[in-house]
């Protein structure tokens, strides 16, 4: 299935913020057709509108990829504002926006939907990770070196192949791990609360459900968690 079908207008709106026309067009072309060709075979993945951004740790539900891309971009742009207004530094917002839009662009190629509603790894994903796919394809498509560096360094030097060497790459790295950590912590808490309150696992399918479960514990205690979980199961 073509990953570029029915692009969410919110993602397109983010790309429109890129002022440099050449870079904007390159980014648009890639998100409209996020595919790679290896040995004459074209690999496409889950639609960007439906794909998760992780298998279990964070954004591991339908549309998680889209949420993570939008949230991490917002965080990155906030950091840009801090750098400019508080620290009086300079930063290339075009590179930051493009970097956040593309940093996980090939994750959907590495995921597949299982019959039980969960996600697994595709044969391509078993052989090549999303970061390697992204860097190789960005090079092939002629993207700027500083943007390729952002994508290459967005995991940081401990989890990835290289440390961020530019301010733009550092901002994108921090934005990525901040949103991943935020979402992952809430998901983990919601799963724990629902399991403890009901004795059963709850398959959480939206970030809204996770936040509602955590909030219900704060407001109404364990009874609130039970009621919220029951409401989610009946929906």
pLDDT tens profile 181-195: 999 999 999 999 999
Longest Cα–Cα distance of the chain, Å, equals 58
Q: Is the pLDDT of residue 160 over 50?
A: yes
Mean pLDDT across the stretch 79-105?
97
Helix (H, G, I), strand (E, B) or coil at 4: coil
> What is the band of 118 on the pLDDT scale with cuts at 50, 70, 90?
confident
Among candidates 230, 190, 183, which has minimal Cα distance to 210? 190
Q: Where in the chain is the domain with CATH 1.10.3210?
A: 9-183
- pLDDT value at position 4? 41
Q: At residue 92, does pLDDT exceed 90?
A: yes
pLDDT band at 159 (very low <50, low <70, confident <90, very high): confident
DSSP 8-state assignment for residue 41:
E
* pLDDT over 70 at 155, yes or no: yes
Contacts of 170 (CB under 8 A, 6+ apart): 164
The residue with greater pLDDT, 42 or 204, is 42
Distance (Å, whole) CA 177 – CA 31: 22
Phi-psi category of residue 63: left, alpha or beta, with phi > 0 → left and psi -120 to 50 → alpha:
left
pLDDT at residue 49 tops 90: no
Alpha carbon distance 146, 92 (integer Å): 10
DSSP sequence for 42-65: EE--S-TTT--S-SSSSS-STTHH
Rounded to 5 degrees, φ, ψ at 41 are -105, 130
Work out the pLDDT band at 201, boundaries 50, 70, 90: confident
Q: What is the pLDDT of residues 4-25, one digit of tens each?
A: 445 788 899 999 999 999 999 9
What's the CA gap between 166 and 153, in Å, rounded?
10
Task: Tell me how far apart the alpha carbons of residues 76 and 160 are, in angstroms, rounded to a whole number.
Answer: 19
pLDDT of residue 3: 43
Share of the chain above pLDDT 90, in %: 74
Q: Is the pTM of this model over 0.75?
A: yes
Average confidence (pLDDT) over 91-102: 98
Q: Are 133 and 38 in contact (CB under 8 A)?
A: no
Q: d(Cα 135, Cα 163) in Å, to the nearest integer?
A: 15
Mean pLDDT within 215-222: 96
Residue 1: pLDDT band with limits 50, 70, 90: very low
Phi first, then psi, for residue 40 (nearest 5°) are: 80, 0
Whether 174 and 122 have beta carbons less than 8 Å apart is answered as no
CATH topology of domain 9-183: Hypothetical protein af1432 (1.10.3210)
- Between helix 64-85 and helix 167-198 the angle, nearest 10°, is 130
Contact by Cβ (8 Å): 65, 104 = yes
């Amino acid at each position: 299935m073509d990953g570029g079908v029915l692009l969410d207008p919110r993602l397109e709106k983010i790309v429109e913020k890129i002022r440099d026309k050449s870079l904007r067009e390159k980014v648009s072309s890639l998100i409209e057709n996020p595919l790679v060709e290896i040995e004459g075979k074209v690999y496409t993945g889950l639609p960007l509108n439906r794909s998760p951004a992780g298998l279990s740790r964070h954004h591991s539900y339908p549309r998680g990829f889209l949420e993570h891309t939008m949230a991490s971009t917002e965080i990155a742009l906030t950091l840009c504002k801090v750098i400019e207004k508080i620290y009086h530094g300079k930063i290339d917002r075009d590179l930051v926006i493009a970097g956040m839009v593309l940093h996980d662009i090939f994750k959907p190629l590495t995921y597949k939907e299982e019959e039980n509603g969960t996600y697994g790894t595709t044969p391509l994903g078993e052989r090549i990770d999303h970061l390697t796919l992204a860097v190789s394809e960005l090079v092939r498509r002629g993207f700027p070196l500083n943007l390729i560096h952002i994508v290459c360094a967005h995991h940081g030097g401990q989890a990835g192949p290289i440390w961020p060497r530019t301010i733009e790459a550092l901002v994108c790295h921090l934005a990525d791990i901040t949103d991943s950590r935020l979402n992952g912590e809430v998901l983990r808490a919601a799963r724990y609360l629902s399991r403890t309150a009901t004795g059963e696992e709850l398959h959480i399918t939206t970030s809204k459900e996770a936040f509602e479960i955590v909030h219900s514990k704060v407001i109404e205690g364990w009874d609130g968690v039970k009621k919220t979980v029951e409401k989610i199961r009946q929906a």
